[in-house]
A and B are shown apart, each in its own frame.
Chain A
Amino acid sequence: MRDPAPEPSQEQVTRRNGGRLVTSVATGTWAPLTLTLMVTVAGSVTALALPAVLAGTVDAVVAGRNTLPATRNLALLLVGMTLLDIASVVAGAACVASAVVSLRMRLVGRLLAASAVEAARFPTGELVNRLVSNTATTAYVPVTLLRTAVGVITSAGGVVALFTIDWRVGTAFLAGVPLTLVVIRLLFTRMSGLYDDYQAAQGRLATRLTETLAGIRTVRAAGTVDREISRVLDPLPELSAAGQALWKVQSRSVWQLALMLPLIEVFVLGVAGFGVAEGRLEPGALLAAAGYTTLALAFVGQIESLMDVAYGRSAAQRVCQVLALPVLAPGSVPLAAGPGTLSFRGVTVTREGGPLLDGIDLEIPAGAMTAVVGPSGAGKTTLALLAGRLADPDRGQVLLDGQILGEVDPASLRSAVAYAFERPALLGGDIASAIAYGNATSGIEEVRAAASAAHVDDVIRRLPAGYRTPAAEAPLSGGEIQRLGLARALLPRARLTILDDATSSLDTATEAQVTSALVEGMRGRTRLVIAHRPATAARADLVVWLEAGRIRAQGTHRELWRDPAYRALFASEPAALAGRDRSPITVPAATRPDHAVQNQEESCPATP
């Protein structure tokens, strides 16, 4: 299976890419699709044979000839038709099912391989919608197109059959077709744009609901549930209007068709009846003419399928936007053993015009604890993301023990680098699995040890089912979740541990305990700590002071403390709030899975 779009930017994701995705889905499921095609074609052949055989049988009946052979043939044909019909349905479902699986796994694969920064552009609700709903809609498109195509060919066969009855009958039919086509084409173009409007309105509503659910504690405390409900529902009139517009277009076009088609039918029957009257045709020909006219007009019924296709293409585009996310190309070189020296060489990250990090050259000494401080927007979080290759720099290199991170194979990089976040997402099931997430082979003793080191063991023991309590259902505070995330980072005993504001929700006492664990308990391992408290910086071996994407100074906390501007970082009106004119890289921070919806609009830039 091939990728539909070689890394186009978000803006370039156009209708064309949606089409390409559909093509690749079709190629991916070629086997069941071919089977569907074969049985559908066979089914349409029997459908084309039916009116003629039926007419022959009726003629035999009317003429008083021996009817048994004709009736037997008819019966066989009907049985064959039923069986082919069943085969077509089952094969079609198989196509859809495997297309959905392949689309969803491609989407998941892309999201898991993408840089965390890029994936965070989509709110979680959007991602879920694309994974569950848009993929399903897209997966139907190849089968629908195939059935439509066969339907159109069958219709053409019906026309040919009308001509074989009598050229006059065929001509009578064709006379009505051009106008019908014009009406259909109009309908199709009108509908496509309207579907986009409709989906956009739906999206706005969903976004508002997600927002409200994220702030539900405030809503609850303020007693503003009713107001929130009406706020979420604000875009409803737009949705309604788009829906009404869809109906209007249908009403306008469908009634024209509903008038035109039966008139064609009656016209054809009239011409055939004339043939019967003149003795050129037998009475059965009327049946055949009626049957073939129905078949020939069946292409009109494909309009709705084409609407589904239009709908499916909109969905395909939405899937494409995710598949177009740039991935972090995995390296292949195993990471050699080393003490854990981290180096930044000319590292620059640009976002929306401005640099987030601007030519950073920095050595993080092995085995030491380095604190990164600076006002919000200085680039601290970006630095942390680069340090363990959750994102790649636009220019420059990040090296761990002399090896460029981008070249190191992901498995060995992950075992060498661990992360703890301000708002960790607890994944994997129960608390023990959440701590061992990504280290599935760890035993419960190791998990306990990590939890103790993060000062969260006693909290876990107090939970209803201890370590076996489902993480999603455990009543945990922000600080407790943060410590669980910390335990997860401590578990692998990684060469380099990166803590991005990972203790911000801890109260002073707990943070002091945790900091001791970082200082004493992890002695000899490299630690990069994004800090906004002087106490943390004070205990670090080295402090790196970032400002506006550059290193303003580095040294020990004691040395830097002499600079009033440094002291101001911790104690004065933050320049950050006034001077932040561009957004930092934001990453969806997660607390716990059942609060997932609320996390998607959270960001975790290092706040002062």
Chain B
Amino acid sequence: MPGHSVTSTRSRTAVASPAGDHAQAAWRTLAELLRPRRRPLAAAAAWSLVEAAPALLSGLLIATAVDRGFLIGRPAAGLAWLALLGLTMAVRAVATRQMFPHLAAVIEPLRDDLVRAVVAATVTRASTGGEAPDGAAVTRLTQQVETLRNLMAGMLRNSRELGVSMVAALAGLLLLSPSAAVIIGGPVLVALISFARLLRLLVVRQRDLVIAGETLTAEATPILAGLRDVAASGAQAQAQDALRSLVAAQAAATRALAWAGTSRRLVVTLGAHVPLIGLLLAAPPLIEHGYLTAGEVVGVVIYLSTGLEPTLRTLLGTVGSWGVSLTVTLRRITEAITFSPEPPIRHRPAVGSEVVCLPAADDLETDVLTFAYSPEATPVVRDLSLTIGEGEHLAVVGPSGIGKSTLAMLLTGLLEPTSGQVRLGGVPLATVPERHLRTVMALVPQEAYVFAGTVRENLAYLCPERETAGDERLGAAVEAVGADALVERLGGLDGTIDEPSVLSAGERQLITLARTYASSARIVILDEATCHLDPAAEARAEQAFAVREGTLIVIAHRISSAARAGRILLIDSTSALAGTHTELISRSPLYADLVGHWHDGPHGHDRRLAGGI
């Protein structure tokens, strides 16, 4: 059973799965992202130590200023101690300034790496065909990466407050008055422990919020993509209801998170307010017995109110909110950028491995080829044995949905058969290097891919030696498929296509046809690649490919394509039959029927179309 069923499993399953198991992977991702940034991180940390100087010394210096200066009538001495405090603060300002470039050197490259990873993962995942292009991908790129960047920046900027200041304040307190430090240390410890226990709840709530946002994105995307259809079906109310319930769920998650967050305030009370009251209650007897001085009381309160409390608040805010967001966002991004280790096509060797076989010929051969989407489903392709000779022009015809596109995917090795095999030049596709296959074969799908860029970039897309792909070659291809008027209108090869959607579907198909013509592919498969062209333009393009060196396989959109081909493969729900146009007319009632539909127009003009122009 091939591991890449086209029936997609979508990201919705990932959304529903508990994120818990990904925790480690998420932190590993962060570690990997930060590892190359060790130097600026270390520099920032060093400056953080310098920044913590006022936190360590403030209470001590103020207590000294009071006890040895202001209270004993020596204001000059008091001012001198304060000046020392001012100096530590100036040092902190310098440290802050020094830290910014280091932070930028951590954060900006980290964001770049993230963007790269998300883009690479999204594109690669989509291209393996295992999963359909994810509607949330673009939002994930902009939003989650941005969230992570902001969170990391915030965390790093406040890290000094987290670790260093807390320790510095406690150390300063201990230096100033060990007895006060004992009174204060206990509740702080209890507060920290209870906070650690609260984190779990916060993480769950935060994750719920993220999931609600992602569900909204996933469900809203098709509706916003199909606004015209909603209007045409008169389903505005239905669409609005669907979105309203998702929007409401997300709002409910916001509120729930806020409620869970209130517990953090109680922790501040426990860690900062309780010790303050305790100290003030204990102070009179301590002063009486000479354990504390007036200046020390002032100093301790300064440590508590300007050092410990703000630090605790920041800690709770940073860890409890940003940290939780960071964890959750990291998990989501990790899920997005790590995919299953299973390669898209399992047995295909990389170039350089020993089993590499480069086919010497370009004939394609299928051997009792069968493909089904799932074991229960009726096979889409069943026991197909067929040889397509080098340079042949084959048309594949049959009713819609009979599996013609699936056959194209199987022939190009983009889909692995359920049983049987495809051979290129006698070599099973599974052993031909991917790169070789993609160069030798060109599959042009119905939906034309034209990207913003110059016309030349678009046309030279399939030329491996892109830079050197001669303009003459591109020009000849444009001429051959009949895209010259279009290219001229776009401003020639140097013209730019800013917004591909401005081109009509047919115009975009012409560009992809010219691109394929200019490529070095020796087997070209047009999978209804001309469906948006008018019959004459289609005929011209197909003729061009027929004359072009190499094999041409046309998944026919119109029966007129079949009549032009040297041989026709007629696929029916039960069988497949190959032969020339005239052979099939006599041998297959279905084919005669298909062609016959063109006989009933006025004056027999349709017959002329059917017979080829």
Contact = CB atoms under 8 A, between A and B. Distances in A.
Contact of B96 (A125, A254, A440, A599): A254
Contact of A128 (B85, B139, B400): B139
A354 interface: no
B602 A128 contact: no
A145 interface: no
Nearest to B146: A202
B301 A236 contact: no
B294 interface: yes
Nearest to B445: A217
B152 to A, nearest CB: 12
Interface in A568-599: 569-574, 576-578, 580-581, 583-584, 586-590, 592-599
Contact of B609 (A54, A294, A571, A586): A571
A170 interface: no
B141 A206 contact: yes
Contacts of A473: 7-8, 10
B254 interface: yes
Contacts of A601: 499-501
Contacts of B507: 577, 580
Given A251-B97, A577-B485, A427 B302 contact: no
Contact of B601 (A119, A287, A534, A602): A534
B220 interface: yes
Interface stretch (A55-63, A173-181, A185-193, A332-340): A55-63
Contact of B108 (A240, A476, A504): A240
18 contacts: A54-B305, A58-B297, A64-B287, A97-B255, A105-B247, A128-B217, A128-B221, A215-B451, A221-B444, A243-B149, A244-B104, A247-B103, A266-B89, A509-B593, A535-B601, A596-B222, A600-B225, A603-B503
A439 to B, nearest CB: 8
Interface stretch (A12-20, A150-158, A410-418, A445-453): A410-418
Indicate the size class of the contact surface on chain B: 35 or more
A462 B377 contact: yes
A276 interface: yes
Interface string B233-245: 1111011100110
Interface in B31-75: 54, 62, 65-66, 69-71, 73-75
B605 interface: yes
Interface stretch (B21-29, B196-204, B278-286, B424-432): B278-286
Given A124-B224, A258-B93, A273 B243 contact: no
B156 to A, nearest CB: 12
B505 interface: yes
A554 interface: no
Query: What is the interface of chain A mostly: helix, strand, loop, or mixed?
Result: helix
B399 interface: yes
A133 B143 contact: yes
Interface string A70-83: 01001100110010
Indicate the size class of the contact surface on chain A: 35 or more
A222 B462 contact: yes
Contact of B97 (A224, A258, A421): A258
B265 A86 contact: yes
A573 B536 contact: yes
A506 interface: yes
A236 B114 CA distance: 11
A286 B62 contact: yes
Interface in B74-130: 74-75, 78-79, 82-83, 85-86, 89-90, 92-94, 96-97, 100-101, 103-104, 107-109, 111-112, 115-116, 119-120, 122-124, 126-129
Given A112-B236, A425-B229, A273 B146 contact: no
Contacts of B434: 223
Nearest to A104: B247
A565 interface: no
Contact of B115 (A205, A222, A440, A605): A205
A548 to B, nearest CB: 15
Interface in B386-426: 397-401, 405, 412, 414
Interface stretch (B359-367, B469-477, B545-553, B555-563): B555-563
